[in-house]
Structure 1
Amino acid sequence: MIIRNCCLCTVPNEGISFRAPVSLHRARWIAKAIYCLNTFTAYFTACLLFRVLFAVTIYVKCWFQTPVATSAPKNDLWLLKNLKNFENTNKTMSKKALTKFLGQLWYLSKELVALAFFDDEISLESKQKMVIALNKKGSDYYSPKRITMDQSHIEEKNIEDFVTSNTLRFFRILGIPSAFLQKEPRVWEEDEDYKASREIVRSMRVVNDIAERGVALIEEFNKLITTDEERNNSFFWL
């Protein structure tokens, strides 16, 4: 579609082209958000306005911090709180986004919330509360990979609310030191165990893009070998 007449006075002579965004499934829907931002400068609708506000005020920050393991628990909670507050802007969009992301709370589980111990943006006061919360008895069985949360209580939650004695399993599973937890958070930066554990945690990848690409490559390779569905499945699970 080419627009040659527009309310803006800076339309180029050749007009403005709008093209459908591609590969949205490979970059969540950030490509669509970028497209809305570009389009918003030339053409205005209420729908575009809400998409742009959502992308700029909420989604972009989380998008860029996604690969940072230590920020994962805080980002999950921050995102939920901001989605809840987005009700004041667009209640429908807020509700749909919350419903979607409430099913993706991998890093607020009893074990993975331990990543926040190494997050420089978590205050010392919060880290101290997290240490105290380690005395709170957890379940005798391994908690599910992701938690469930009531939307009405999102704004009341703090990062330490997700910590229990089960959180210590994080250190046992990875085989990293946890003795620094016996000290005050203000001295952790000087503790060798803490620094060693932090280096390991910072090297972790918290996104599944690599795994998804690997699966896609295997599937494409299988199609080159045979088109028979039964044989295709046998190759995939080989």
Structure 2
Amino acid sequence: MSDVRIASSSNADQSMNVSYNILQEPCSSVAMRGRTLIVNRRLAAAMDKCKVSDRDAIHLLSACVESLLLNPMDYVINRFSIRRARQQYREDTAINIQAEFEQLNVDFAVVHWDTKLLPSVTGIKKQNRLPVIVKTLLTEQLLGVPLISSGSGKEISNAVFNTLQKWDLVIKVQAFVFNTTSSNTGRFNGACTLLEMKLGRNILFLACRHHIFELVLQAAMSSVKLYSSSGPDIPLFKKSKVSFPKINSQTISNCDTSNELVELIAENQEETHLFCLRILKNNQEPRHDYTELLDLVVILLGGTVPKGNKIRKPGAYHQARWMPKAIYSIKIFLLRSKFAIIGVKEKALCKICGFIVVNYIKPWFTANKTTEAPRNDILLLKNLNKYKKRCYNEPVLFSLFDFNVPLEEKPRMTEKLRKLINSKEIEDVEDEDLTPKKYLLPYDELNEFLEKDLPCSLITKRSLNLFKHFKISTSFIESDANEWSHNVSFNKGKEVCNSINVVNDTAERRVKLMEEFNTAFTKNEHQKQIILQ
């Protein structure tokens, strides 16, 4: 018995010793928290670009680590750590972007803006967003997409001014690029007028040329009465969209099948055909809708596009957008035999197609050519039978840097400029109010206007502001126009003018960006602004 008790005692001691040792040594079954950070700057940027939420990032990172045969327990993979890392990288990137932009020390800035009504983060109501972008000689920068309570001129001007203040660009702004809505162009309460008053100096107004040409197309479609619709749907377009899959889209009726259209486009057919083919072959248009319009015009004129003559299925259209309506009109005309379009509608479509070929295609696709803008406007006026257009005195001097302007016209322009520059009355152009900033050209004065010496007759004292705004030297006007291509001040001025966008496409691209990221993976307004930059 004693032996047994001794043995038991010995076993008990050993058991206690084992238990004691277990308490002293770390337990191998306790999970240790990972210490290796997996989210770096590049990965954080990629997740933002792909609109990956913090919760989804956990699943993606865990699966990625496991697929690489690594231990997920060694890495920091949790929602809060991922969110903190992403926010920190965004903050650092935003600071670096603004610092790099400030180091450029730009001489001038051209401000673009546009408004868009988007859903709020709750999705219950909508709110106005205002992308504000500046374009300089060397770069383009999104400054912010602030919320505004309404789309009025006062709200827009306040938001743009506050954004410019944050980036210390108030004294650098020399021009505005904007859509021609009343909230922007109003004489007394328009955003341009109010913002110019806030800046306290004369500013160059550059209405978006694409927006102007959309209004021209709108007027053309309204005049032929192609359709009448007060709702979101256009019956003619809706019917063709529904019927398209049921017809043979290879049976195309081009201009050769319509004597009326041939008569309308006879003088411009070859020129427009070559113009469209040149743009398509050079791949100058990245947007699919622009490319599709060019394809359709080439097919309409009896040509063959580089990728083959094929009519795509009709896409989306909107009452406020006129480019899709031009595309729809040409498609329906080309397939009018399959859609059974006859009579009044066929004649209306014929007139619209003729208008697009003669008066719309070339102006639209050269709208972004800054130095060619004044001359192109004059040519458009000469081609149109009925047209009202806002004309500005200051941008007319862009045409000095346009090599398409005949050399015999430039001496007359420079002579008038020299007289204005040497005049003692022109000591302070900004204080002069002898010519309006813009004026309307009534139709009954159109013939008289076109008989003038254009563009020379459009040059006024206010036109000299262009040189002052962008610090362009006028020394080149003292030399012969034939020698300007070798003149340093002329080439510098040409570079500056070509850097100015006279279309507001850059603001519209930011609107599209805001639409994509408006409700994506973050409700924090500050973080949203940083992501968009």
Asked if these proteins are the same fold (TM beyond 0.5), I'd say yes
Q: Aligned partners of 1:214, 1:184: CA distance in 2, in Å?
A: 43
Q: Aligned partners of 2:377, 2:398: CA distance in 1, in Å?
A: 12
Q: Aligned partners of 1:40, 1:219: CA distance in 2, in Å?
A: 34
Residue 357 of structure 2 corresponds to residue 56 of structure 1? yes
Name the amino acid aligned to 1:119.
Answer: D
Change (3 A) 1:165 1:17: closer
Segments of 5+ residues of structure 2 without an aligned counterpart are 1-241, 253-310, 524-528
Q: Aligned partners of 1:60, 1:50: CA distance in 2, in Å?
A: 14
Comparing 55-64 and 209-218, the one that deviates more: 209-218
Name the amino acid aligned to 1:67.
Answer: N
Structure 2 counterpart of 1:187: 483
Q: Work out which of the residue numbers 119, 122, 130 in structure 1 matches 2:402.
A: 119
Structure 1 counterpart of 2:444: 152
Change (3 A) 1:59 1:202: same
Q: Aligned partners of 1:69, 1:173: CA distance in 2, in Å?
A: 16
CA deviation after TM superposition for structure 1 residue 217, in Å: 5.5
Comparing 216-225 and 62-71, the one that deviates more: 216-225
Residue 457 of structure 2 corresponds to residue 161 of structure 1? yes
Does the 8 Å contact 1:70/1:201 carry over to 2?
yes
Change (3 A) 1:51 1:189: same
Residue 413 of structure 2 corresponds to residue 130 of structure 1? yes
Q: Deviations over 1:21-73 (max 9, x none)?
A: 42574xx5222212222221111500100110000011000010011111111
Does the 8 Å contact 2:470/2:496 carry over to 1?
no
Change (3 A) 1:37 1:182: same
Residue 380 of structure 2 corresponds to residue 79 of structure 1? yes
Structure 1 counterpart of 2:324: 31
Secondary structure in 2 aligned to 1:196?
helix
Change (3 A) 1:207 1:60: same
Residue 251 of structure 2 corresponds to residue 10 of structure 1? yes
Q: Aligned partners of 1:213, 1:42: CA distance in 2, in Å?
A: 33
Structure 2 counterpart of 1:232: none
Does the 8 Å contact 1:58/1:79 carry over to 2?
yes
Name the amino acid aligned to 1:36.
Answer: S
Change (3 A) 1:201 1:148: same
Q: Aligned partners of 2:445, 2:467: CA distance in 1, in Å?
A: 29
Structure 2 counterpart of 1:22: 317
Residue 370 of structure 2 corresponds to residue 69 of structure 1? yes
Q: Deviations over 1:166-192 (max 9, x none)?
A: 322211110122110112212111211
Change (3 A) 1:183 1:218: same
Structure 2 counterpart of 1:42: 335
Structure with the largest fraction of strand: 2
Does the 8 Å contact 1:110/1:164 carry over to 2?
yes
Q: Aligned partners of 2:349, 2:512: CA distance in 1, in Å?
A: 32
CA deviation after TM superposition for structure 1 residue 223, in Å: 7.7
CA deviation after TM superposition for structure 1 residue 216, in Å: 6.6
Percent identical among aligned pairs is 30
Q: Aligned partners of 1:77, 1:36: CA distance in 2, in Å?
A: 27
Name the amino acid aligned to 2:459.
Answer: V
Does the 8 Å contact 2:407/2:481 carry over to 1?
yes
Q: Aligned partners of 2:362, 2:415: CA distance in 1, in Å?
A: 30
Name the amino acid aligned to 2:478.
Answer: Q
Compute the TM-score of the two structures, normalised by the length of structure 1. 0.70
Q: Deviations over 1:1-23 (max 9, x none)?
A: 327689x9938xxxx99746425
Q: Deviations over 1:137-177 (max 9, x none)?
A: 88723855433223233332421110123322211110122
Segments of 5+ residues of structure 1 without an aligned counterpart are 85-93, 227-234
Structure 1 counterpart of 2:158: none
Residue 499 of structure 2 corresponds to residue 203 of structure 1? yes
Aligned pairs, number: 203
Q: Which has the larger radius of gyration?
A: 2
Q: Aligned partners of 1:29, 1:198: CA distance in 2, in Å?
A: 32
Secondary structure in 1 aligned to 2:501?
coil
Name the amino acid aligned to 1:122.
Answer: V
Structure with the largest fraction of helix: 1
Does the 8 Å contact 2:373/2:399 carry over to 1?
yes
Comparing 47-56 and 206-215, the one that deviates more: 206-215
Structure 2 counterpart of 1:230: none
